[in-house]
Amino acid sequence: VQLQASGGGLVQAGGSLRLSCVASGRTFRSYVMSWFRQAPGKEREFVAGITRKDGVTAYANSVKGRFTITKDSAENTVTLQMNSLKAEDTAVYYCAADQPGRITIIQQVYHMDRYDYWGQGTQVTVSS
């Protein structure tokens, strides 16, 4: 399974960006696709996740009400719409997916060690 992330860039505080992650592979059967981020000098943290089949979502408290994660009907692309961006949103954003069976309920999506597939990361920089 390969994950290809795109859409990062430089934006002023209060602006918007949209990130996309496309999954490919013959046997892509992940339960969840999620976004994590890592700022310089900080640990990687969960941002948002969505179940591929029924679209149940989860968000970090820091992005609730500002970010929206969606999936396409083919279930292999997720989009993260980021609005009202703040300087503290500056980070490298990674998309991630689990192997079948590694995440079975939405409450598990927050844990980085549950994910087996990672994209290459895309830089988001928010200037204040």
pLDDT category, 30, cuts 50, 70, 90? confident
14: CB partners within 8 A, 6+ apart: 84, 85
> What residues have CB less than 8 Å from 35, skipping those under 6 apart?
19, 21, 46, 47, 48, 49, 69, 78, 80, 93, 94, 95, 96
Query: What is the number of residues in the chain?
Result: 128
The pair of structure tokens assigned to 122 is 């895309």
CA distance 29 to 121: 21
The amino acid occupying position 125 is T
- Average pLDDT of the chain, as a whole number: 94
Predicted local distance difference test score (pLDDT) of residue 75: 79
Q: Nearest to residue 42, comparing CAs of 85, 88, 84, 82?
A: 88
- Mean pLDDT of the 78-99 span: 96
Q: Mean pLDDT check: name the lowest of 20-29, 78-87, 110-119.
A: 20-29
For residue 27, name the pLDDT band (cuts at 50, 70, 90). Answer: low
d(CA 100, CA 116): 10
